[in-house]
Amino acid sequence: MLRSLYLWLIRLHPFGFRQRFAEEMLAIFDEVSGLRAVTSLFADVFVSLFRQWVFRSEFRQPMMPAPVSDVAPIFRTLDTYRPRPMALLNGGFISVAALCAVVVAMDHGGSRRPAFLIGVHHPSPHLLPVDRSSLAENELSTAVKLGPEPVDPWHAIASIYFKMIRVLGALDADQDLVISRWEIVTAPGALRRLDTDRDGQLNPEECGFSLGTGSEVVADSQFVKRARFEFMRANPVLAALDTDHDGEISETEISNSAAALKKLDRNGDGILTPDEVIPDALPVRAAMIFSRLDTNQDGKISSGERASEEAEPLRDILEGADRNHDGAITAEELTKELRLREERRRQFENALRGAGLRRDAVK
């Protein structure tokens, strides 16, 4: 009986309210038990009945009929609520007034600046003034100066080495100690001009091998054969041309000499510089210089031998090698001097790379 009375009170609510909350209110009533809980629900339904008919006018509006479709609609309007005209008028007036106040504060602040402005408008001893002229773009006034470029030992050594190795002298047509792209392309013709015996190939003697004047070694001895073979293998250009490593440069190898020379181009710039054709080992370079300058073969380069015309390109290196100032240079002293100069040159190039400069840009 109480349930029927509660259901009758729910039906007294507006139609819109019943559609939204009737089932939920009835379900709550069915779940509670006890006199106090039932009494609380009846008191709540009377209060709700009064509130909905007196204060909640939106529930008295007719609800839109549900569309007849098997598919639920994506959007559905619950009610037709409109803000009060007076609220719209008040909001618009407040917005316009706030905007006008901000504009007036920015343009007509008078002598007293608002507290929220950032910065100062007059010089102050507490802040550093900004010099606008410092913002102007000026020419760079700082120059980075490196020390004098160390003497490159490669050029001096190359002047001797290109004379020793006849193949290099023939390839370097313009005598600039650099094998250019064109000289690499024309290498077969230059090498054929060294074939003095006209046998179609180049033997070690035609490439520059020599045991020196006055040698009493028999031409067919094992020593000479080994020396000739080591000569062809120790020099990078001859080793690159002698692709089959038989100690001679054949006609086929002469024809393919341009491709063989390109394999020596370690940095890929298309040319062969002295550091790419001279043996890397410092003792080999020292021995090469001794073979040209030590004419009496006493194991030392004397002051008289240093004064020769052939020693002129190496004069600076030879003077630096004589650290004990005894007038004679040993192979050990020359090797040590070459090592020091090579290390100095490497440090200079590392400094250039660290500064982002090129070698040819340093004057």
The pTM of this model reads: 0.42
Query: Is residue 215 over pLDDT 50?
Result: no
Mean pLDDT of 328-356: 80
The residues near 63 (Cβ < 8 Å, ≥ 6 apart) are: 15, 16, 19
Cα(219)–Cα(216) distance, rounded to whole angstroms? 9
pLDDT at 112 over 60: no
Structure tokens at 42: 């009846």
Q: What is the pLDDT of residue 151?
A: 54
pLDDT tens digits, one per residue of 66-86: 554 455 555 555 556 667 777
Per the prediction, the chain carries an average pLDDT of 75
What pLDDT was estimated at residue 109? 55
Q: Per-residue pLDDT tens for 271-315?
A: 998 888 887 666 666 777 777 777 787 878 888 888 888 788 787
pLDDT of residue 147: 56
Q: How far apart are CA 299 and CA 277, in angstroms?
A: 26
Which residues are bridge partners to 300 per DSSP?
330
